[in-house]
Structure 1
Amino acid sequence: MVDLGATPPCERFLTETQLDEPEVTYPLHLRVCTQCWLAQIPPLITPEDTFTEYAYFSSYSTSWVEHAQRFVDGAVDRLGLGSDSFVVEVASNDGYLLQHVVARWIRCLGVEPSVNVGQAAREKGVPTLTSFLTPETGAQVRAEHGPANLVVANNVYAHIPDVIGFTEGLRNLVADDGWVSIEVQHLLTLMELNQYDTIYHEHFQYYTVASAQRALASGGLSVVDVELLPTHGGSIRLWARPTEVAGEPSARVHDVLAREKAAGLHELSGYTEFAARVAKVRRDLLAFLTKAAAEGKTVVGYGAPGKGNTLLNHCGIRPDLLAYTVDRNPYKHGRFTPGTRIPILPPERIAEDRPDYVLVLPWNLRDELVEQLAYVREWGGSLVFPIPELEVKS
C-alpha cells in the first residue's frame, strides 16, 4: 500500500548521551492481504522490545481520560454491571480507564505488560498484572479471578503480532455469556483522511470491520455491534461475544461493512491510490517548512507522539526546520525524537519563545489542543496541522 522508508521504533526517545551512538532503523512498509484484506506491517520488532518500558502514559491526555469515563458509564448501563461484576482491561496502561471502574466499586483487573506504566496504575489503586496477554495468561486470570463479564481492549488489538493467540486470550478471559469491547483505528478513515502517520512499528495491523470479524472468529468471538468513534482520527468500537451466544450482528455492523465495500476496501482497487496521497502530504509540509525557514520564521512542535515520529522521519524533518517540540509527559523532557533527533521540552517553552508557528503533531487531539494553545494567538502565532491536508490556523 505504501513504503515509508525505514524508521527507528517510534517510542524509543533518545537521551543526550545516545546522540553520539548509532540508531537502528527498520523498514516501514504497509501491505494488504488479498485474501482477508487485513492491512499489516511485518513484525520486525517484538512487543517485548517496545512495551517492557513504555513512554506513553494515557492519562496525560485529558480528552482521552474523559473518553474512558464516558465508555465506563455507558458500559455499566448497557451491560448492567454492578458490585458482583468483574471487568478486565488488556493493555490497561496507567489506569486511565479502570480508575473509573474502581470508583464504581466494581471488581476489576488490568493486564499491562509495561512495568513503569503498570506501576503508575497500581499507585492509583488499580489492580494490575504485569503481563502480555496470551491464551495461557487469559486462562490463568480466569482461574484465579473468575470469568470477566466485560473485557476491554482499547488500542491494543493492532499491537500484537500473534492475532490468533491474543484473540484466544480474550476468549479465555471472558465469561461464556460475557462481552468484549475493542477500540481500534478504522482503516477506512485512515485512508480517507491520509492518516499515514499512524503507521509505525507498534501497529502490526490496520483493521476494517470485515478484517476484524475474521480475526475475532479465529479465537471464537463474533462481532455483534459496532460504533464509529472520532478518537484517533476515526476509530471503531467493536462489541463481540463468544460465538455460541452472539446471534446476528446489528444493523450498524451491516452499514459499516457496506461503507467499506463502497470505498473499495473489500477488493484491491481501493488500496492502489493511497501512496500518491501520502506523497502529497509530505510535499506540502516540507514546502511550508522550507518557506518558513527561508523567511526567517520560527517553527516549533507541540507533542511528541509515536505518530509524530513517523511523520518527521518520512518527511526528513530535522531541527533546522523544527527547532524543538514540547510534550506534557515529563518522561520525554530532555530527550530527543528517534531518528530526527529534535529536542523535547516542557510545554511552557512555547510561551517563553513566542514562535511564529506551532506544528501540532497529535492532530487527533485537535479540539483539545486548539483550546490549550489559544494563547499562541496573543503574539500573532499560528497553529499548523499537517493531516489530513496542510492547514495553517491563525
Structure 2
Amino acid sequence: MDPTAPREGREPAGGGAVELIRAYFDDRTARRANDPPVDFVCCLSAFEHVPEPAALLRTVRDMSGDRGAGLYFEVFDARRALGRGEIWSVHYEQCNLFGAASLAALFRHAGLTVTDAGNCYAGDQYAFVDAAADPAAADPPDDLEPDGLPPELASFSAAHRAKRAEWSDRLAGWRSAGKTAAFWGAAGKGVTFLNSLPLAAPGDGVIGFVVDSNPDKHGRFLPGTGHPILPPAALAENPPDVVILSNALYEQEIRRQAAGLGFDGEFVIA
C-alpha cells in the first residue's frame, strides 16, 4: 500500500503475487487490505513520514483482531544521526524523528506488545521494532524506555550552527578558487543542505546542479532552490570540480558509477 505506487493490481513476486494498492493507509484501506485477514504487517522507511503515527498503530492493532498478527516496522534512526552531527537529516519529509527507545515506547502506548527492538542495517542506520497484537506475547525488559531529553537533541542547535558555518566557509573558499560543484541526491538531505546555505543557490552559488539516479526526477527541480535535477551522465557532460554526497553509506557505489562515466573529480560528504 503506497500512494506513489506506479500502478494498482497484482504483480508476480517469486512463486506468488503481490497486490499493489495506490492509497494511504487508513481505516478504509485497512479493511480492504484485511480481506482475507492478514497475519503480518511490515512497514519500511515510511512510518517516520506519517502525521499521526499512534493512530496508524491503533488501526493496525484493530485490524489484527484476536489473531495476534505480527508486526515489523523499520525507520531511519534520528537519534543516531543527530549524535553524529548529521544535521541535514532533519527535513520536511520526516515529520517524526525516532530512536529505538521512542519507537518501542510508541508501540506500547498504542497497545501493542514489543517483542524485540534495536538497530539494524550498516550497524545502526535504522531503528526497528518487532511487535505483536497479542497481549499474551512475551514482552522484553523495559531497558529501551526513553529516559528524558536525549543529549543528542539537546546539543543539536550548537551542532547545526557549527556545521552551517563550516560549509559556508568551504563553499566560499571554492567560490574564491573558481571551483564548481554538484550535489548527489535529490531527496530530503539534499533539500535541507541546499536550502540552508546561501552560497549553494544556483546561479549565484557554487553548486550548479543536483545529480540523482531516479529517472522520475530527471528534468525536474529541487524544492526551494530550483536546482535542476540531472542524471549521473551529467558528470561526464559538464564535469564539476567537486561532487558533494548526501550519504556516506553510498560513497563507494557512487564513486564506481562516476568512474565508469569518466569523472575523476573530488568527492566530499555533506
Q: Residue 380 of structure 1: CA displacement? A: 4.6
Identify which of 169, 174, 177 aligns with 2:59: 169
In the alignment, is the contact (CA less than 8 A) between 1:358 and 1:381 conserved in 2? yes
Q: Which residue of 2 is the match for residue 186 of structure 1?
A: 77
Q: Which residue of 1 is the match for residue 176 of structure 2?
A: 294
Q: Which residue of 1 is the match for residue 201 of structure 2?
A: 318
Give, in whole Å, the separation in 2 of the partners of 1:120 and 1:136. Answer: 16
Q: Residue 226 of structure 1: CA displacement? A: 2.2
Q: Superposition pairs for residues 1-394 of structure 1, below 5 Å?
A: 111-114=1-4, 117-119=5-7, 126-142=18-34, 144-146=35-37, 148-174=38-64, 176-230=67-121, 234-249=125-140, 254=143, 257=144, 266-268=147-149, 270=151, 271-316=153-198, 317-319=200-202, 320-375=205-260, 380-386=264-270
Q: Which residue of 2 is the match for residue 84 of structure 1?
A: none
Normalised to the residue count of structure 1, the TM-score between the two structures is: 0.60
Go from structure 1 to structure 2 and tell me whether the alpha carbon gap of 1:342 and 1:231 turns closer, same or farther (over 3 Å shift).
Answer: farther
Go from structure 1 to structure 2 and tell me whether the alpha carbon gap of 1:121 and 1:357 turns closer, same or farther (over 3 Å shift).
Answer: farther
In the alignment, is the contact (CA less than 8 A) between 1:134 and 1:165 conserved in 2? no
Q: Residue 362 of structure 1: CA displacement? A: 3.9
Q: Residue 304 of structure 1: CA displacement? A: 1.0
Q: Residue 232 of structure 1: CA displacement? A: 11
- Aligned amino acid, residue 113 of structure 1: P
How many positions carry a matched residue from both structures? 261
Give, in whole Å, the separation in 1 of the partners of 2:21 and 2:194. Answer: 35
Give, in whole Å, the separation in 2 of the partners of 1:305 and 1:137. Answer: 27
In the alignment, is the contact (CA less than 8 A) between 1:186 and 1:206 conserved in 2? yes
Normalised to the residue count of structure 2, the TM-score between the two structures is: 0.85
Q: Which residue of 2 is the match for residue 31 of structure 1?
A: none
In the alignment, is the contact (CA less than 8 A) between 2:232 and 2:258 conserved in 1? no
Go from structure 1 to structure 2 and tell me whether the alpha carbon gap of 1:207 and 1:224 turns closer, same or farther (over 3 Å shift).
Answer: same
In the alignment, is the contact (CA less than 8 A) between 1:336 and 1:344 conserved in 2? yes
Q: Residue 154 of structure 1: CA displacement? A: 0.7
Q: Which residue of 2 is the match for residue 46 of structure 1?
A: none
Q: Which residue of 2 is the match for residue 14 of structure 1?
A: none
**Deviations 1:77-116 (Å, cap 9, x if unpaired)?**
xxxxxxxxxxxxxxxxxxxxxxxxxxxxxxxxxx1123xx
Q: Residue 231 of structure 1: CA displacement? A: 5.8
Go from structure 1 to structure 2 and tell me whether the alpha carbon gap of 1:299 and 1:129 turns closer, same or farther (over 3 Å shift).
Answer: same
**Deviations 1:177-202 (Å, cap 9, x if unpaired)?**
33101101223212111222222222
Go from structure 1 to structure 2 and tell me whether the alpha carbon gap of 1:135 and 1:273 turns closer, same or farther (over 3 Å shift).
Answer: same
Q: Residue 241 of structure 1: CA displacement? A: 0.9
- Unaligned ranges ≥5, structure 1: 1-110, 387-394
Q: What SS does the corresponding residue of 1:158 show, helix, strand or coil?
A: helix
Q: Residue 129 of structure 1: CA displacement? A: 1.5
- Aligned amino acid, residue 225 of structure 2: T
In the alignment, is the contact (CA less than 8 A) between 1:151 and 1:173 conserved in 2? no
Give, in whole Å, the separation in 1 of the partners of 2:100 and 2:263. Answer: 46
Q: Residue 349 of structure 1: CA displacement? A: 1.1
Give, in whole Å, the separation in 1 of the partners of 2:123 and 2:237. Answer: 30
In the alignment, is the contact (CA less than 8 A) between 2:9 and 2:21 conserved in 1? no
Go from structure 1 to structure 2 and tell me whether the alpha carbon gap of 1:121 and 1:315 turns closer, same or farther (over 3 Å shift).
Answer: farther
Q: Which residue of 2 is the match for residue 93 of structure 1?
A: none
Percent of pairs with identical residues:
25
- Aligned amino acid, residue 205 of structure 1: N
Go from structure 1 to structure 2 and tell me whether the alpha carbon gap of 1:169 and 1:312 turns closer, same or farther (over 3 Å shift).
Answer: same
In the alignment, is the contact (CA less than 8 A) between 2:219 and 2:230 conserved in 1? yes
In the alignment, is the contact (CA less than 8 A) between 1:304 and 1:327 conserved in 2? yes
- Unaligned ranges ≥5, structure 2: none
Go from structure 1 to structure 2 and tell me whether the alpha carbon gap of 1:324 and 1:368 turns closer, same or farther (over 3 Å shift).
Answer: same
Go from structure 1 to structure 2 and tell me whether the alpha carbon gap of 1:217 and 1:138 turns closer, same or farther (over 3 Å shift).
Answer: farther
RMSD: 2.7
